[in-house]
Each structure stands twice: as C-alpha cells, then as structure tokens.
Chains A and B, each alone.
Chain A
Amino acid sequence: MSVDAVPIRRSRRRRSDSWIGVASISPAILLITVLFVVPLVLMLWMSLNNWSFLGKPTFIGLENYVRAFTTDTTFVNSIVFTLVYTVIITPILFVGGLALALFVKRPGKASGLFRTIFFTPYVVGFAAASFLWLWFVNDSVGPISAATSAFGIDLDQTSWLVEKWPGLVVVITMVTWKVIGFQMILLLSGLQGVPEELLEAAAIDGAGWFRRLFSVILPLMKPTVIMVLVFSISGSLLAFEQFFLITTGRPNNETITAVYWIYNVSFTKFELGYGAALSVVMLVLLLVVTAIQLKFLKGRSDED
C-alpha cells in the first residue's frame, strides 16, 4: 500500500497517537515539574538573594557567586579536593569492580557465595558504614588497635583521623569496601552480554587473556562501562557523609567536599541563598563533567 493512498486516516491516527502519548507521559512531566523544575527555578532565585532561614530575603544579584570564587577560599578548595577524591577513587572502584566481576563470573557454587559476600556491604547506608569504620580505627575501643596492641605494636591511630592523606585513605578504603560490590554486579551484567563464541574465536586466533579483555570484552560492554563510570563519577563528586562523619574536614577543613561545604553554609550558617549559589555552581560542574565523559566515551565508540 502506498503512503499517499491513506493520508487522512494516517494523520488522524498520528494525532490521536500523539494525544495518547502526551497523556501517558503527563504524570512524568508533572513529577519532573514539581520535583525538579520548580525547585531548580526556586534555587536559582534564592542564589541571587541574601536568604536566611528566617526574615525577608534581599536581592543581591550575583554577589553570592562572586563570593564563592573570591573571599570564600574554602569553597574552591572543597571543589579541588572533591575532584582529587574522584580522580583517585574512580579507577580503584572500576578496576576493582571489574576484577571482582571477572572473578565471580566463573561458574560454580562458590561464585554465588562470593557475589553475595562482595555485594552485601552495599546495602549498608553511608552513614552507618562511616560509623562502623570510625569504630574500626578507634584507638581505644577499635579492633585494629586491639589486634595490634596484642602484638605489642602501638600505632598512632589518632593521626589517621587528623591528617589529610591518612584520613583520605581511611575514607577511600571504606567507600571501596562499601561500593565495589555494586560496581561488580553492574559490570557482571555487561560481561555476561559478551558472547562466548567471540571469546573462543579470539582465543583460537591466538589472543591472550589481556588481548581478549581489552580488544573483545571491554569494547563489547562499552554501554555498561559508560553507565558505571557516569554513576561512579557523579556519585563521587557528590560525596558527603563519609567525610562529614569520618574526617569532619580535618585538618583545617582540607578534607571538606563541595556538598559538605554547601551543607555547612546552608544549615550551620543559615545562609540559604549562598548555599543555593554554591549548589548551582556544583550543578554546572556535574553537567560539564558528565557531558565530557559521554562525549569522550561515545566519541571513541564512534571511531571504532
């Protein structure tokens, strides 16, 4: 049947289709408007005001944004620290998660057990996990101190929580323990989508283990890799509880993340307008980082 033969019926159908389409996405549009667009517009407006918890806000234009990059050195430092943290933890989680996924992919009863073991910490909340690790490293009641002192070793565990890099190591260890199982599960689903025949063919062609991993497995699971990295990086850029509870910014607020500082400004200093401005900056940063990632990763797959 030619297209021209039934132009009217077709367009009518299309019109009613589009009406049904709008109707079926309207709950989603409503939700997004109420939960995302309205708060976002309100936040943009707040960021242009001196807005305390109570009392009338006063319009101050872009002053909050100027302050964020001039007098408030803690904010810029917190962004740099957040990026450093993200740059360190992302490869650890990805490589570790992939290694675990490869490990538990092998069939056998034990792999189910290991999957469960590795995944279990993920169900613990960040706050609870942070408190658990604070107990681990506590130098008067924690198990590490109990174990080492049994051997007559006296570690300076207080320094783990008051110095910058030791504190960061404690946090990264905790986050790795907690999150790596989740990355493992995501990567495992990607791994399982790689056809065995291709791997066999590659092996027959003489490709070694590394060659198969980098030239067959990873390219084929690129969508999963992109998803895992976007999740992981944006999650790390939004890090808060682990530093709020474990390092509490020590020393000298050097281990404060951007979200931590936004929280502090908004709910300790009651400067909601300034907190909103910092949130807008953070939102832009997240958008830029995610866009770069998608462009970089997708661009590479286009070249393939």
Chain B
Amino acid sequence: MLRINRTRLSSSVALGIAAVSVLGLSACATEESASGPVELTVWSRSDGELYLTALAEEYNKTHEDIQVKPVIIPNHDYQSKLGNAIGSGDAPDVAALDDVLAPYFASKGAFVDITDRVGELPYSDDLNEAQQSQGVVDGKTYTVPFTSDNSVMFYNKNLFAQAGLDPEKAPETWQEFADAANAIGKLGPDYTGYHFSAGCGGCTVFTFAPLVWAAGGDILASGENESNPPATFDDPIVAEAVELLNGMYLNGGLTTQSQVDDGSNYGGSFESGQLGIVFSGSFYLTQLGTTPPDFDFGVAPIPGKTAGDIASFAGGDVLGIPEGSGHVDEAWEFLTWATGDEAQTALAEQGITPVRTDLLESVYSSKGPQFAALSEAAMNGKVPYSIQELALFNDANGPLVGLMQNGVFGDDVPAAIDAAQKTADGIVANAG
C-alpha cells in the first residue's frame, strides 16, 4: 500500500516537473532569450544516423553558444516528412537531403538563399561540383554538399584468378566487364558474375547511369539549369547498355535474383565470396572494412566502352537551411563547420568520401588504394538534375525500373525503351 502511494506521489511529482520544464522550454523558445545556447535541429534520413550523431557530439563539445540536435527520420519517409514540415512552417533549422532531391526542394523555395554566404567560403571552388550544382536554381545556391557517396566497381580478386582473369587488372571497358562477369558465372552453380538491385530505382540509377555516362550517353537531356528536362531513354547508348546487361543475363553473367532485388540485397553474395562484381559506394567499402571478407577485393571505376573512360554517380547528402528556420545565422555557422576541414576529416575517418576536393588526397586517398578509387570516382561524378528525379529514376514503379525489368530481363529491348520513354514523357509533362 505504502509502495503504491509512493509511486503515485513520485509520478505526480515527475509530471509536475515535466510540465514546468515544458513550460520553461516553450518560454525560452518564444522569448529567444540571450541566456543559454541556441538549439539547432538538424534532420537527416536514417542512412546518415551514425555519422550525423557523431558529428553533432563533436560540434556540441566545441560550441557553447550553439547546440546541435540531430533528428533521424526513416529513409523512405524522409522527403514527405520534410516537405510537410517546411510546407506547414514547422521546419527544422538544418536539413540534410539526398542530393537527387535538392533540385525539387530548391526550386520550390524550400530553402534559404545562401548564394553569397557560399561564395565567401575559402573553399567554395573546391566543393564537389556535381553535388554543388544540385542546389543551384536560376543561378542561386540553396544547398551545400555534406557527404559524398560515389558508385564504383567492387570485384573479387580470388574469383577473377579462379576464372583465369588477371586479378590485378579491373575491367576497363564494357566488354571486359561483361566477359569477366560471364566467365565467373561459368565457374559453377555457386558462383555468379554481376548483381544489381533491378527492383530498386535508386539502386539502379546509381549503378546503371554511370555505364551510360562513361560511354558518352545520358539519361536526361540536361540543359542550362533547366529543372525539368526530358528523360532520354531513347539515347542509343542507353539501348546499348541495356543490351549489354541483357547479354550478361542470357549468358549467366548476371544473377536472376537481380530482377526481384528491391535493394535489400544490394551486395548480392559478394560478401560470402560467391559474386564476382558489384557496383556500390563508399558505405559498402566501410561495411567490408568492418567485417573483412576472407578474400581479396579491388575497387575500380565504372567503365565506358573504351579503356580510360569512366563515370560515377555522385550520391550523398547536401545541407540546406529550410525557409522558416528561426536560426538562419546559427544554421549557417553549422553548415560552415560541417563543410570545413575538421568535420570533413572526421567523416573521412568514418569512411565517408569528403565533399572537399582539396581534402580528398590528404585525408581520404591516403587511406589506401580502395579509397583512392573512390576519390577518383568523386572527381568524375555526375548526378541527374531534375525536379522529377524520383519519379523518373528512383520510383520502383517508374520507367527506369520498367526498362530494367523488360529490357535487361526481357526479350525485346527496343519495345522496353519505347515504353520507358513514353512513361517518362508523361511524367515530365505532368510536373507541377
């Protein structure tokens, strides 16, 4: 009986304290009092949880007047949550954003114009160019690059040797890539050549687009800062790239599981040593570093049709200050710090490619040849600039995934190209 009373008493005291502190907090927030640090809320998708939490701790240790509070939101909910928050005036102070989404958010006036502030950064010309231009609309800059995640080729050197290929020489052309995958696929039923997540649009554009770019083609008719360019699935190079993968599929060089992989199995069976080649990003190198596989692997650029031509998808996050943030100056302080030497070096230590090209050599490539390959990819990165990027390429029910399903795993590439182009034209026409 006494125990119950005590519990009741303590819980009502706790409630009271909670109520008082909530009142106190809201009073602080409305009065903007000079006492106490400014709290900056920084939103990130769950992919960024580890590094953002670590960076926030680092930042808070050295900044007394500004304290960063990371808020992590599940990947798939992120754009709708952020859109709603900004639309309803309930925006965070800083938002990290997948760089493919930056053109949409920036063109809708979601972020504060930071053109002049970025121009004054001593390293403004050294920011990853592909990512930097994602946040530019009509000559005005709304975001800065934060983390880079470029697509590269990972290959199993042991399987290369087993298939009679030179393990120290990564495939340098489309043909060498296809031949290597097909040869490894012929090693036996336990071995597969190449795998990609063809049921996942974001994964597909990350791995497929560089093949097209490296061969001189494109998936978008990119104009000067045109925010809604038409897709170019009818580019002959796109058809050739689809034919290439289709040939690999028919010759046993491409896994059948690729077709139904929604991205949850992006590494295929690479980690267990049964897959020859997979295209992935810096996060995958970190993952392989945490649980080292029992084989040697190499990292190389994604090739084009002729040796020496390479390309990479410039993924990663950018940072913007949402309209409605009550702390624009403090938020810019954080953006400066996050793109500065200290934060970018800390990120590099966690395996994330810096967005500062002037730091790539000293803090990233120096970690080893595999990291150097990612640095090289970062210098050759490209990313589709379109307010319809999600609908055109990332949508699992969109035209790119349809092209993979019907082209790579089907039997009529021209028909698949036509269908994809038609769907894409409809999407571009409906853009609001």
User: Which residues of A are interface residues toward B (Cβ below 8 A)?
Assistant: 50-55, 58, 67, 71, 139-140, 158, 161-162, 248-253, 256, 264, 267-271, 273-274
Q: Is the CB of A158 within 8 A of B256?
A: yes
Most chain B beta carbons < 10 A, residue from A51, A58, A270:
A270
Query: Can you name the residue of chain A whose Cβ is closest to the Cβ of B402?
Result: A252
Contact A52 B108, CB 8 Å, known A158-B257, A158-B259, A268-B391: yes
Which of B109, B199, B388, B391 makes the CB contact (< 8 A) with A248?
B199
- List A contacts of B112 (CB < 8 A): none
Which one of B83, B388, B397 contacts A54 once the chains associate, using CB atoms below 8 Å?
B83
Assembly CA distance A270 to B81 (angstroms): 12
Interface residues of B in 389-403 (CB under 8 A from A): 390-391, 394-398, 402
Complex CA–CA separation, A249 to B406 (angstroms): 13
- Residues of A contacting B257 in the complex (Cβ-Cβ under 8 angstroms): 139-140, 158
Q: Indicate whether A53 sits within 8 Å of B199 (C-beta atoms), given known contacts A158-B259, A253-B402, A264-B397.
A: no
Is A249 in contact with B108, judged by CB distance below 8 angstroms?
no
Confirm or deny: B260 has a beta carbon within 8 angstroms of a beta carbon on chain A.
Answer: yes
Cα A248 to Cα B109 with chains together (Å): 33
B interface residues (Cβ-Cβ under 8 A, vs A): 79-80, 83-84, 86-87, 104-105, 108-110, 199, 256-257, 259-260, 262, 269, 388, 390-391, 394-398, 402, 405-406, 409, 419, 426-427, 430, 432
Report B-chain residues with C-beta under 8 Å of the C-beta of A256.
397
- In the complex formed, the residue of A with least CB distance to B76 is A267
Given contacts A248-B262, A252-B402, contact A50 B396 (CB under 8 A): no
Task: Tell me, in angstroms, the Cα distance from A267 to B394 when the chains sit together.
Answer: 12
Q: A53 contacts B391, CB within 8 Å?
A: no
Listed by A's residue number, 14 A-B pairs whose Cβ atoms lie within 8 Å are: A52-B108, A53-B83, A54-B86, A55-B109, A67-B430, A139-B257, A140-B257, A162-B405, A248-B396, A252-B405, A267-B80, A269-B430, A270-B104, A270-B390
**In contact, B391 and A162 (Cβ under 8 angstroms):** no
Given contacts A162-B260, A267-B80, contact A55 B397 (CB under 8 A): no
Bound-state Cα–Cα, A278 to B171, Å: 49
- The number of residue pairs between A and B whose CB atoms lie closer than 8 Å in the complex comes to 81
Q: Please tell me if the beta carbons of B108 and A53 are within 8 angstroms of each other in the complex.
A: yes
Closest to A58 in B: B432
Residues of A with C-beta under 8 A to B394: 268
Q: Are B406 and A269 neighbours in the complex by a CB distance under 8 Å? A: no
Asked if residues B108 and A269 are in contact (CB atoms below 8 Å), the reply is no
Residue of B nearest to A268 (CB): B395
Q: Bound complex: CA of A87 vs CA of B276, how far in Å? A: 46
A252-B405, A253-B397 as given contacts; A161 in contact with B108, CB under 8 Å:
no
- Using A52-B432, A158-B256, A162-B409 as known contacts, say yes or no to A268 and B398 having CB atoms under 8 A apart: yes
- Top 3 nearest A-B pairs by Cβ distance? A53-B83, A54-B108, A55-B108
Min CB distance, B91 to chain A, in Å? 11
Chain B residue nearest to A260 in the complex (CB)? B397
Q: In the bound complex, how far is the Cα of B166 from the Cα of A243, in angstroms?
A: 44
Which of B79, B396, B409 has the most chain A CB atoms inside 10 A of its CB?
Answer: B396
Structural contact, B260 and A158, CB atoms closer than 8 A: yes
Given contacts A54-B104, A54-B108, A270-B83, 13 further A-B contacts (CB under 8 A): A51-B432, A52-B108, A52-B432, A53-B79, A53-B84, A53-B87, A67-B430, A161-B260, A248-B396, A251-B406, A252-B402, A268-B395, A270-B391
Chain B proximity of A252: nearest CB distance (Å): 7
Alpha-carbon gap, A271 to B262, bound state (A): 24
A residues less than 8 Å from B406 (CB atoms): 251-252
Closest beta carbon of chain B to A38's beta carbon, Å: 15
Cβ-defined contact, A251 with B405, below 8 A? yes
The residues of A that contact B108 with a CB separation of less than 8 Å are 52-55
Cα–Cα, bound, A253→B406 (Å)? 12
A268 to B401, CA, bound (A): 14
B83 pairs with A269, CB closer than 8 A = no
> In the bound complex, what is the Cα–Cα distance between A50 and B430 (angstroms)?
10
Q: Residues of B contacting A273 with CB < 8 Å?
A: 432
**In the complex, chain A residues whose CB is within 8 Å of the CB of B388:** 269
Q: Could you say which residues of chain B place their CB within 8 Å of the CB of A55?
A: 108-109, 432
CA distance A252 to B422 in the complex (A): 13
Chain B contacts for A252, CB-based, 8 A: 402, 405-406, 419
Residues of B within 8 A of A71 (CB): 426
- A249: chain B residues within 8 A (beta carbon): 396-397
Q: Are A271 and B430 in contact (CB under 8 A)?
A: yes
The CA of A203 and the CA of B182, in the complex, are separated in Å by 71
Which B residues lie within 8 Å of A270 (CB)? 79, 83, 104, 390-391, 432
Shortest CB–CB separation between residue A259 and chain B, in angstroms?
13
Chain B residues, Cβ within 8 Å of A269: 388, 390-391, 395, 427, 430
CB-defined contacts of B430 to chain A, threshold 8 Å = 67, 269, 271, 274
Query: What is the bound-complex CA distance between A250 and B402, given in angstroms?
Result: 9
The complex places the Cα of A248 from the Cα of B256 at a distance, in Å, of: 17
Task: List the B side residues contacting A248 at CB < 8 Å.
Answer: 199, 262, 396-397
Roughly how many angstroms separate A252 CA and B416 CA in the complex, as a whole number? 10
In-complex Cβ contact of A268 among B83, B109, B390 (8 A)? B390
- Nearest CB of chain A from residue B245's CB, rounded to whole Å: 16
Complex alpha-carbon distance, A273 and B84, angstroms: 14
A65–B86 Cα gap in the complex (Å)? Answer: 28
With the chains together, A236 CA to B410 CA distance in Å? 31
Q: How far is the CA of A139 from the CA of B390 in the complex (A)?
A: 30
Residues of B within 8 A of A67 (CB): 430
Q: What is the CA–CA distance of A270 and B419 in the complex, to the nearest angstrom?
A: 22
B residues in contact with A51, CB < 8 Å = 432
Q: Within 8 Å CB of A253, what residues of B?
A: 397, 402
User: B398 — which chain A residues lie within 8 A by C-beta?
Assistant: 268
Beta-carbon nearest neighbor of A156 in chain B: B256
Set of chain A residues within 8 Å of B199, measured between Cβ atoms = 248, 250
- Are the C-beta atoms of B432 and A50 separated by less than 8 Å? yes
Residues of B with C-beta under 8 A to A250: 199, 260, 405
Task: For A53, list chain B residues within 8 Å (CB).
Answer: 79-80, 83-84, 87, 108
Also in contact, A54 and B105, with CB within 8 A (given A158-B257, A162-B259, A271-B432): yes
Most buried by B among A52, A53, A253, A274: A53
Contacts of A139 in B (CB 8 A): 256-257
Complex Cα distance, B390 from A270, in Å, reads 9
Which A residues are CB-close (under 8 A) to B259? 158, 162
Of B84, B397, B426, most buried by chain A (CB within 10 Å of CB) is B397
Measured CA separation A87–B199 after assembly (Å): 28
CB distance from B302 to the nearest CB of A (A): 25
Tell whether, in the assembled complex, residue B391 and residue A54 are in contact, meaning their CB atoms are under 8 Å apart.
no
